Structure 1
Amino acid sequence: MAAPEKPPASLAELIRRRSGAGRSKEPPSPSAAKPPVADRLGQFGLLFAEPEEADAQSSDPDILPEPDEEKASERRLWSVAELVSALRFRVEREYADVWVEGEISNCRPAPSGHLYFTLKDGDAQLPVVLFRREAALLKFRPTDGLSVLARGRVSVFESRGQLQLIANSLEPRGAGALQLAFEQLKAKLRAEGLFDEDRKRPLPPFPRTVGVITSTQGAVLRDIATVVRRRHARLNLLVFPATVQGPTCAEDVMRGLRYFNASPETHRVDVIVIARGGGSAEDLNGFNDEALARAIASSEVPVVSAIGHETDFTIADFVADLRAPTPSAAAEIVTGAQHRIEERVQSLEARLLRAVRFQQMHVRQRFLRVSAEGAFARLRDSINRRDQRVDTARFRLEALSQRLLQTRSVQLRQLSDRLHRQDVHRRVLLAVSQQQNLQQRLERTGAEFAQRSRQRLGRAEARLHALSPTAILERGYALVYREDGSLLRDASNAVEGEAITARVSHGTVRAIVSSNAHQT
């Protein structure tokens, strides 16, 4: 009966017994007295052939066994490259997709675009590399001390023999990625002076044309048009359709800014309004783009930002020349000066009436003072002259008001005519009529071309039929072939008793030459 196997003394010995190498009687080597190294390597699944008797003999460090040359020749020797490659292969297979949470330390962005840093957790640390393609997709900038959650695969950097995590995604812990990216971009642009008030330009008091960059599918454009129609019906609105949500939002808005800044004088706008309704932080994230912020700052035309509700803030709001709480409020701000003209005229009229009453009261008081001295006549003349000046001033004011009203009426008619000429419905009807005319011309041209082609085809078929050998045969002619298949062209070539074949219009006739008429 075999003796029971003794329990393993180390993890390396357990791996050796499972692999069947533990029963060899190989003498111990000097490296067999280092079980900690074998344990560490054994965790990666590598099997090392260690002598089973090493545990008992290595208890006394002064006693070194004699090496067995015959067994030593069977020992596998690893090169450094082979060992590290084997470790990397096993680690990458076992830890292909892991999530690691820790604190960023020693963050070093490389000129190539790759990002290198270390994740720390207590006394442990793990090198991490984020390659250029994944680093470009980050919505925030990793910095030292930031707690993050990294996802990737564990590998071994062979040049250094160093364990590292190759990350493919990175998420901040605590604050959200969008909020962190927002705060970082906000701080960066503030430091560059893009938020300074002295850089922002005032809006024109009486704009003639306002460019609106928004989606044509939502209610924002309808709200803006309603407010403008109610407060300033003669104001022109030039709309640039854009996507205001999703990955193409920033690029569409920048195209609108470039269009309005590069428009010719006939389509020149005085103010640009970027409008969007409310939404979540993810929906409004397209307006937190750095390139869009710089495009707004470099716009030659003043920009009004009307994005979301009053409590929503984006980077575009801070860079724009003016922020409106809502799109409707932006329309009210743009038309504010024009809307206040009527109030201003009424105020001036009230001031003028008060001034006239004051002058009348002042003259009346002087009249009462001088009437007691007997200068009634002079005062009456003075009052008459003043009344005359007042009447003259009144007449001039009425004439000026009349001319102003006539000028405004002419301008109103001109603008109405221009608006009528630019009526979209009429332009659509004109385009439909032109399309129908073109379609009729195309159909007529196609029919004529088909008729001419059919006539040419008929003439060609007639000519081809006239030249066809088959048509000649139909007129009573025949083709005579000799036995070798050659065409018999001369009767003198026929030989008596020779079999010939005559091809007529319908079928063939075989015959035997009985005589040669040419010879007779």
Structure 2
Amino acid sequence: MQTKTTPTIYTVSQVNALVKEVLETSLPARVMVKGEITGWKQHGSGHCYFSLKDEGSVLPCAMWKPNFARVRFRPENGLAVIATGFVSVYVPQGRYSLVVEEMAPEGVGALQLAFEQLVRKLRAEGLFDDAHKIPIPTYPQRIGILTSESGAAVHDIADSVHNRWPCTRLALYPVPVQGEGAARQIAAAIADVNRRNARLKLDLLIVGRGGGSLEDLWAFNEEVLARAIFASKIPIISAVGHEVDTTIADLVADRRASTPTKAGVVAVPDMRDVLSDLDHQGSRLMRSVRSRVELGGEYLQTILASSAFRNPLLAVRMREQHVDELASDLSASVQSLLAQRRAMLQDCHEHIARIEPHRLLGAMTVRLNELTSRARAAITAVVNARKMDLAAREGRLAALDPRSVLARGYTITTNKTTGKVVRTLDDIRVGDAMLTELAGKTVIESKVYNMP
């Protein structure tokens, strides 16, 4: 007889745990997955979350901060990569994902891709523009060299500079030029030299190292060093690698030397060329001075041969003669002008005499007196007429004055309360005060106590 078995009931967490165990035990410990990045997001913690997709599917991925720190290029959406890691299940949400431990771009090296990405970024920001580059001094007296003290580059640079321009003083600032953190140390050294340059008085900096692989030269391709070179107030020559090597430091620097040895050629002039040029300029100067002296001598002889030097008083005597002639002309002109003015004055005197102004003045005086008398008579007549008219108007006005009848025994009574002249009983009330005006401007005040 068969016994009935009871089915096992699992919790959600148990199912997810089983799936996790199956996936982690059934799949290889490490898998390499090729796909295109989508939904890239870097969390504030430094962990990265994204997906890899192809034509038919999407795979969730996670990359923890320590692993991402080893990635040299900048992951971005749409970039085809090869991710290496293991598949795991996030039990709380029942979601599986590929935990990425390493990541490389597909078809191109990670360092090359990182180099190209940073070049595009810095070019867009203008760090490579010629407008920002500082001119290299023609005759630098103090040069700072930032490189490894144990490498051949420092000797190549020093030999090249001293062979060409021995008077230049060199100062070595040893820095690591390869390995983890080298870029940050070189950048810090550049910033420190700039900060202390009021005392150091450096005219120029040379930053570089000898050749090597892309990995060896990578410190000179990092963003932190590129920005330090761009921010430097001291002009910088980048001398990294061999002829074929080009780094981001070369692109940002104010000048680029293809090798450390060539840095000396770029930094200082050749003493032999300068001396040769000085000799040439000195010869030209001597020829120019000699030619000017000869021309000056010839000009001096011409001056000495002139009449002014043979008979120096001749010019003075000729000027004196000219002054005498001008004085004679001036005297004649003054006499002629005076004669003309005397003639004009005589003509005016005769014209005035013919007019006889005294007789004309007498006639005008008689005429003025006559007009004055006539004006006075007219004014008197007008004033008398106005006085008579004014008297007539005054009489008519007095006849119309209501107070003129007071002299014949009449009075004028006014209601003091209302201010109106009393004509009928309707103009007063019991208790009203009355003002009665008599002749001679006499006023009697009364009060109404009873009315009929």
TM-score w.r.t. the length of structure 1 is 0.54
Partner residue in 2 for 1:75: 7
Partner residue in 1 for 2:17: 85
Please state how far the C-alpha of 1:271 moved relative to its aligned partner: 0.9
Please state how far the C-alpha of 1:161 moved relative to its aligned partner: 2.3
In 2, Cα distance between equivalents of 1:109 and 1:101: 20
SS at 2:279's partner residue?
A: helix
Pick closer, same or farther for the CA change 1:167–1:260 going to 2, 3 Å: same
Residue type at the aligned position of 1:156:
V
Partner residue in 1 for 2:263: 330
Instruction: Note the alpha carbon deviations across 1:435-493, whole angstroms, 9 max, x for none.
Output: xxxxxxxxxxxxxxxxxxxxxxxxxxxxxxxxxxxxxxxxxxxxxxxxxxxxxxxxxxx
Q: Spell out the pairing of 1:59-70 with structure 2 (5 A cutoff).
A: none
Pick closer, same or farther for the CA change 1:120–1:267 going to 2, 3 Å: same
SS at 2:217's partner residue?
A: helix
1:291 counterpart = 2:224: yes
In 1, Cα distance between equivalents of 2:41 and 2:197: 48
Partner residue in 1 for 2:280: 347
1:174 to 70, 84, 107: 107
Partner residue in 2 for 1:148: 81
Q: Determine if contact 1:205/1:338 at 8 Å carries over to the other structure.
A: no
In 1, Cα distance between equivalents of 2:162 and 2:275: 16
SS at 1:104's partner residue?
A: strand
Q: Determine if contact 2:178/2:217 at 8 Å carries over to the other structure.
A: yes
In 2, Cα distance between equivalents of 1:172 and 1:107: 15
Partner residue in 1 for 2:175: 242
Please state how far the C-alpha of 1:340 moved relative to its aligned partner: 5.0
Pick closer, same or farther for the CA change 1:359–1:268 going to 2, 3 Å: closer
Partner residue in 2 for 1:314: 247
Partner residue in 1 for 2:305: 378
Residue type at the aligned position of 1:334:
A
Please state how far the C-alpha of 1:177 moved relative to its aligned partner: 0.3
Q: Determine if contact 1:306/1:323 at 8 Å carries over to the other structure.
A: yes
Gaps of 5+ in 2: 310-452
Residue type at the aligned position of 2:305:
R
Q: Determine if contact 2:240/2:258 at 8 Å carries over to the other structure.
A: yes
Residue type at the aligned position of 1:76:
T
Please state how far the C-alpha of 1:339 moved relative to its aligned partner: 6.1
1:115 counterpart = 2:43: no
SS at 1:171's partner residue?
A: strand
In 2, Cα distance between equivalents of 1:366 and 1:191: 65
Partner residue in 1 for 2:118: 185
Q: Spell out the pairing of 1:89-108 with structure 2 (5 A cutoff).
A: 89-95=21-27, 96-108=29-41
Instruction: Note the alpha carbon deviations across 1:238-278, whole angstroms, 9 max, x for none.
Output: 00122212224213322431342233655332211112111
Q: Which has the higher contact order (CA 8 A, sep 6+)?
A: 2
Please state how far the C-alpha of 1:116 moved relative to its aligned partner: 1.8
1:131 counterpart = 2:64: yes
Instruction: Note the alpha carbon deviations across 1:156-215, whole angstroms, 9 max, x for none.
Output: 233442221011111111110000011111111222222221111112222221110112
In 1, Cα distance between equivalents of 2:173 and 2:19: 59
In 2, Cα distance between equivalents of 1:139 and 1:266: 38
In 1, Cα distance between equivalents of 2:43 and 2:243: 41
Gaps of 5+ in 1: 1-23, 26-69, 383-520
Q: Determine if contact 1:151/1:169 at 8 Å carries over to the other structure.
A: yes
In 2, Cα distance between equivalents of 1:81 and 1:376: 119
Please state how far the C-alpha of 1:288 moved relative to its aligned partner: 1.0
Please state how far the C-alpha of 1:323 moved relative to its aligned partner: 1.1
Please state how far the C-alpha of 1:112 moved relative to its aligned partner: 2.9
Q: Determine if contact 1:151/1:167 at 8 Å carries over to the other structure.
A: yes
In 1, Cα distance between equivalents of 2:181 and 2:59: 37
In 2, Cα distance between equivalents of 1:79 and 1:157: 16
SS at 2:225's partner residue?
A: helix
Q: Determine if contact 2:161/2:264 at 8 Å carries over to the other structure.
A: yes
Residue type at the aligned position of 1:224:
I
In 2, Cα distance between equivalents of 1:152 and 1:89: 17
2:143 to 199, 203, 210: 210
In 1, Cα distance between equivalents of 2:144 and 2:164: 17
Q: Spell out the pairing of 1:424-439 with structure 2 (5 A cutoff).
A: none
Q: Spell out the pairing of 1:494-513 with structure 2 (5 A cutoff).
A: none
1:228 counterpart = 2:161: yes
Q: Determine if contact 1:210/1:273 at 8 Å carries over to the other structure.
A: yes
TM-score w.r.t. the length of structure 2 is 0.62
Q: Determine if contact 1:206/1:338 at 8 Å carries over to the other structure.
A: no
Q: Determine if contact 1:109/1:116 at 8 Å carries over to the other structure.
A: yes
Instruction: Note the alpha carbon deviations across 1:42-72, whole angstroms, 9 max, x for none.
Output: xxxxxxxxxxxxxxxxxxxxxxxxxxxx73x
Pick closer, same or farther for the CA change 1:290–1:376 going to 2, 3 Å: closer
Residue type at the aligned position of 1:211:
G
Residue type at the aligned position of 1:80:
V
Partner residue in 2 for 1:511: none
Residue type at the aligned position of 2:138:
P
